[in-house]
Amino acid sequence: MIIGYYDKTGDQQIRARWQQLLQTAFARPNLARPNLARPDLARLNLAGPDFVALDSAAGRHADIALVWGPPAGLLASCKRLRLIISLGQGVDHIMRDPDLPDTVPVCRLVDPDMAHALSQWVIAVLLDHLRDGPAYREQAAGRVFQQRPQIQTLDLPVAVYGLGAIGRVIAERLAAIGFQVLGWAASQKSLPDIACHSGPAGWQHCLQTARAHICILPLTKKTENLFNAKAFAQMPKASYFINGGRGRQLVEEDLLAAIQSGQLAGAALDVFRTEPLPEEHAFWLEPRITIWPHVAARTNPETASRQVIAAIEAVLDGQLPANLLDRTRGY
Ligand code: GLV
């Protein structure tokens, strides 16, 4: 079996870790497996899979593609693919390829470690804003020891947009530290301690009620440009916006205008329409926007590989893996 790997960030350390984890997992003799007689599995168990760059000559023969941000056409050029696995929770970086083969199953990661990391990032940036971190850091730089009024955060309404595997963990943890949490999702959810909403009326209600707005939505045609001037205008004045979803869900000029007019107090952003964020981008010059380079929840190969191994095993056994992309839904 050949595993083809492609990560547009080019991080060699992470690549080496994936290679080690997958080769070790599949090289381990597993005598409990009933179907060792199958030639592909037998080869696997003896030697471990080949782990190659998907965009190399050897990659053309890959059975499994493990990818983040593959260039358009690369997946289609690998004619033997039996499974495409996203190296992230999102699959938009795969879906945007116009030549994506439509017969090969695509699966995404759903790793509790990422929900944990992303929820901590949301809590960190939200509390930093609400507890005046930027202002106190500025004061400290000038050795100014001066108290500012403390914002009352108990029962402060905050909205989490997207209540999937990550969004619901964020919502639950925000509720646990005393926020009044509203949640919005495309389909109606029911979660203890969260006021769940869906549909256009629920969307309006969340926009109009919450003082902080946290986007964790998957990127689809329906969620593109959702956070725009019209949405910001409905939020209570001086609301805070947090984007841990995707850059394309935000109309960047509209956010800048909303902050500069005082309608929004600021924003913390981990994702951008163009990544890396270009040097000349106006966001760099706006101190009320905190910029994170897509690190709120980096994929952890140690935990995520369990799911990747299970998905490969499922395909080798002729089964469909878990967390398959639903192409009509878009995630
Ligand atoms: C990160 O953005 C991911 O999709 O996992």
pLDDT in tens, 200-235: 999 999 999 999 999 999 999 999 999 999 999 999
- Give the number of the atom of ligand 1 that is nearest the alpha carbon of residue 271: 2
Query: Does the C-beta of 88 come closer than 6 Å to ligand 1?
Result: yes
Q: Rounded distance, CA 323 to CA 292, Å?
A: 27
Residue 13 to residues 9, 19, 52, 301, 311, Cα–Cα distance (Å):
11, 10, 15, 11, 23
227 DSSP assignment: B
Q: Rounded distance, CA 202 to CA 232, Å?
A: 15
Q: pLDDT for 250-309, tens place per residue?
A: 999 999 999 999 999 999 999 999 999 999 999 999 999 999 999 999 999 999 999 999
Query: Does the C-beta of 48 come closer than 6 Å to ligand 1?
Result: no
Minimum CA distance residue for ligand 1 atom 3: 88
Region 101-124: mean pLDDT is: 97
Beta strands in the chain (DSSP E): 2-7, 50-53, 64-68, 83-86, 106-107, 157-161, 180-185, 194-198, 212-215, 239-243, 264-269, 289-291
Q: Which pTM does this prediction carry?
A: 0.92
Count Cβ neighbours within 10 Å for each residue of 48-85 and write b for 16 or more, e otherwise. Answer: bbbbbebbeeebbebbbbbbbbbeeebbbebeebbbbb
Pocket test of ligand 1: the residue of 9, 89, 93, 325 to mutate, having most ligand atoms within 8 Å of its CB, is 89
- The reported pLDDT for the residue numbered 38 is 52
| C-alpha closest to that of 169 among 229, 244, 261 | 244
Which tokens is 2 given? 């050949």
Minimum CA distance residue for ligand 1 atom 5: 88
Give the contacts of 159 (CB within 8 A, at least 6 positions apart): 181, 182, 183, 184, 206, 207, 209, 210, 212, 213, 214
Q: Which pLDDT band holds residue 27 (cuts at 50, 70, 90)?
A: confident
Pocket test of ligand 1: the residue of 119, 220, 272, 299 to mutate, having most ligand atoms within 8 Å of its CB, is 299
Which tokens is 217 given? 């939505």
Q: Rounded distance, CA 95 to CA 331, Å?
A: 9
Q: Rounded distance, CA 85 to CA 9, Å?
A: 16
Residue 270 to residues 36, 139, 245, Cα–Cα distance (Å):
45, 26, 8
| C-alpha closest to that of 308 among 43, 47, 17, 10 | 17
Region 26-52: mean pLDDT is: 61
Strand-pair category, 83-86 with 64-68: parallel
Query: Does the C-beta of 167 come closer than 6 Å to ligand 1?
Result: no
Give the contacts of 164 (CB within 8 A, at least 6 positions apart): 185, 216, 218
Query: Does the C-beta of 90 come closer than 6 Å to ligand 1?
Result: yes
- Give the number of the atom of ligand 1 that is nearest the alpha carbon of residue 88: 5
The answer to whether the CB of 242 falls within 8 A of the CB of 254 is: no
Angle, CA 6 vertex, CA 74 and CA 41 arms, to 5°: 95
- The reported pLDDT for the residue numbered 262 is 98
Angle, CA 183 vertex, CA 179 and CA 188 arms, to 5°: 150
- Cite the active site residues: 246, 294
Pocket test of ligand 1: the residue of 114, 116, 217, 300 to mutate, having most ligand atoms within 8 Å of its CB, is 114
Cα 88 to ligand 1 centroid, rounded to whole Å: 4
- The full set of domain ranges for the chain reads 2-111+299-316, 112-291
The answer to whether the CB of 110 falls within 8 A of the CB of 90 is: no
Cα 90 to ligand 1 centroid, rounded to whole Å: 5
pLDDT at 30 over 60: no
Residue 318 to residues 38, 40, 229, 324, Cα–Cα distance (Å):
11, 12, 48, 15
Please tell me the total number of residues recorded for the chain in this structure.
331
Cα 89 to ligand 1 centroid, rounded to whole Å: 5
Topology of the domain covering 2-111+299-316: Rossmann fold (3.40.50)
Beta-sheet strand order (sheet of 180-185): 194-198, 180-185, 157-161, 212-215, 239-243, 264-269, 289-291
Cα 118 to ligand 1 centroid, rounded to whole Å: 10
- Write the CATH number of the domain with boundaries 112-291: 3.40.50.720
Three-class secondary structure of residue 183 per DSSP? strand
pLDDT at 39 over 60: no
Query: Does the C-beta of 89 come closer than 6 Å to ligand 1?
Result: yes
- The reported pLDDT for the residue numbered 63 is 96
pLDDT at 59 over 80: yes
Task: Match 């929900």 to its residue by tokens.
Answer: 115
Average pLDDT, the chain: 94
pLDDT at 33 over 90: no
pLDDT at 35 over 80: no
